[in-house]
Amino acid sequence: MPSPMIYQDLTTAALLGHAAQYHSETEIVSVSTGGEKERSCWGEVASRAQLLASALASLGLPPGARCATLAWNNRRHLEIYFAVASGGWVTHTVNPRLSVDHLRYILNDAADEVLFFDQTFLPLVAQLLPQLPTVKHVVLMESRSEAALSQLPSLLFYDDLLQQGMADYRWPQLNELTPASLCYTSGTTGRPKGVLNTHRSLVLHALSGNQPDAAGISAKDSLLPVVPMFHVNAWGTPFIAAMVGARLVLPGPHLDGDSLLQLLAAEKVTVGFGVPVIWAGLLAAMRRTEVRLPEFKRALVGGSALPPSMAEAFQRDYGIALTHAWGMTETSPIGTINTPLSKHDALPAQEQQKQRAGQGRPIFGIELQVVDVDGEPLPRDGQSQGYLQVRGHWVVEQYYGQDASALTAAGWFDTGDIGTLDANGYLVISDRAKDIIKSGGEWISTVELENIAIAHPGVRSAAAIAARHPRWDERPVLLCVRAEGGEVEETDLLSWFEKRVPKWQIPDRVIFVDALPVSATGKVLKNQLRQAYGEILMLSLIHISEPTRQAEIS
């Protein structure tokens, strides 16, 4: 049907073109793998992306070819994002923290033809390459290096490719349904699965995810994505930043609290995106030093539950607002963001805090429902807990390379999360379905137990798991890491819980450990903890030494 309005495909080239035309001089700060800072700008990123695309075209890459990246958040990675997608190929961001087995599986499943990588991963690439039959071109994201060549003689160099590129290269006209980027799920249970984003889904995600009541990034912001560009497109930050012409600060490989604190201060960053464990590191660093961040006003936090006590500490002690968001690889990832409605401003402070603790409400383009075990929708009353389902413009329909639909018969994606929704769509996640504790027919939220534990000043991090129990099927066991100098004991924590949850939800045991096992995307590996501690209540009469158990999971 002829359209009464101009029809233009929504593409990454359009985002980059906008940034290059109207925000050409806006700075892109990038920390290189070696730790040096490089300064460029949107205009340069756009020109280099065109040079790279032209060089890739002359390598003879067919349309739709997958180009993998094993890289930190840096300037070249940003250029690859735009060059590959806008050139009609697919940027396949790969998480280098995955096991070698998973990496091999993912790269072969995607049948990548090009592999870009940062210097850090040279040994990994040298190890993997003989088992990657589809990879034709391996590109080190650096200038030419004889030392690297001596390790991998077939190497190409990013900067050489740019020199071979043609400045007058024109982006192909792409249909907005063309695939643009590919990211695999973490695969903590089973094989990782690929989620293929289209140009349209990326642009719509950026448009909606950046509304004032959502991420709300403006041209005046300096945005630091701590969330890696190898995991769900750094929550869309490259595309959002290009769309609004924001200044980007790309942190490279050093993401510990002290390095981040220095970078945030030196670059006068105004807003950051990252998982809770990153902000826990920053908080600890701020408490140790005198460095303050007057420009750093807020951060978007998701990936796992944001402990309310951490958000309170940032706000109270440093005037930094942490905004809680929820999403997953299958939702590109932004699904909900916790920004208040006018009516919430009138609530007492404690109620407002409670409101802010949840995962927030859906952005436009995302619909949510919670259903019971039979798939029947539950009331949106903030009470009825069920299985969370989602649908929308940037939600997966089919995993990469699979024929079957990933959706229910009714067209919803089952998230694997459990939670409640209220009448305004505010979501509170209580758990992953596989993590929730089923005690005597009642559900106990591990997220809630962890939030309570972390609010204790003597605790740095905590994970609650279901341990098998002879009478109640499952009971909560809490694994805790003490805060620096914290002297808290099991009895202290159990009495801390007494005032905060009904008696039947108090953990049966609190066990202190040196560290919690964490996945490649910053989530606690509860399956490992369950393996090590899941039988502890059955075996409580047999004495098992804690060091033995800790050795088992390390």
Interface ranges with ligand AMP (CB under 6 A): 185-186, 232, 302-305, 324-329, 333, 359, 415-417, 429, 432, 521
CA nearest neighbour of 419 among 390, 452, 382, 394: 382
Q: Which is nearer to ligand AMP, 417 or 474 (CB)?
A: 417
Catalytic residues: 185, 330, 438, 443
Q: Which is nearer to ligand AMP, 11 or 95 (CB)?
A: 95
Residue 439: CB atoms within 10 A of its CB come to: 19
Q: How far apart are the C-alpha atoms of 139 and 147, rounded to whole Å?
A: 14
Residue 403: CB atoms within 10 A of its CB come to: 6
Q: Which residue has the tokens 């009516």?
A: 343
Residue 516 has φ and ψ, to the nearest 5°, of -100, 140
* Minimum distance from residue 128 beta carbon to ligand AMP (Å): 22
Q: Tell me how far apart the terminal alpha carbons of the chain are, to the nearest angstrom.
A: 61
Q: Which is nearer to ligand AMP, 155 or 466 (CB)?
A: 466
Q: Is the dihedral of CA 373, 377, 382, 388 positive or negative?
A: positive
Residue 355: CB atoms within 10 A of its CB come to: 18
* Cβ atoms of 281 and 263 closer than 8 Å: no
Q: Which is nearer to ligand AMP, 415 or 439 (CB)?
A: 415
* Minimum distance from residue 435 beta carbon to ligand AMP (Å): 8
* Minimum distance from residue 341 beta carbon to ligand AMP (Å): 19
> CA-CA distances (angstroms) from residue 482 to 172, 306, 380, 459, 544?
55, 18, 38, 4, 21
Q: Name 198's Cβ contacts closer than 8 Å, sequence gap at least 6.
A: 176, 177, 178, 179, 180
Q: Which is nearer to ligand AMP, 11 or 451 (CB)?
A: 451
Q: Which is nearer to ligand AMP, 74 or 185 (CB)?
A: 185
Task: Report the phi/psi class of residue 522: left, alpha or beta, with left for phi > 0 and alpha for psi in -120 to 50.
Answer: left
* Minimum distance from residue 529 beta carbon to ligand AMP (Å): 16
Q: 280: number of CA atoms within 13 Å, CB side? A: 20
Q: Which is nearer to ligand AMP, 125 or 427 (CB)?
A: 427
* Minimum distance from residue 431 beta carbon to ligand AMP (Å): 8
* Minimum distance from residue 328 beta carbon to ligand AMP (Å): 3
Torsion of CA 160, 164, 168, 171, to 10 degrees: -70
Residue 40: CB atoms within 10 A of its CB come to: 17
* Minimum distance from residue 498 beta carbon to ligand AMP (Å): 25
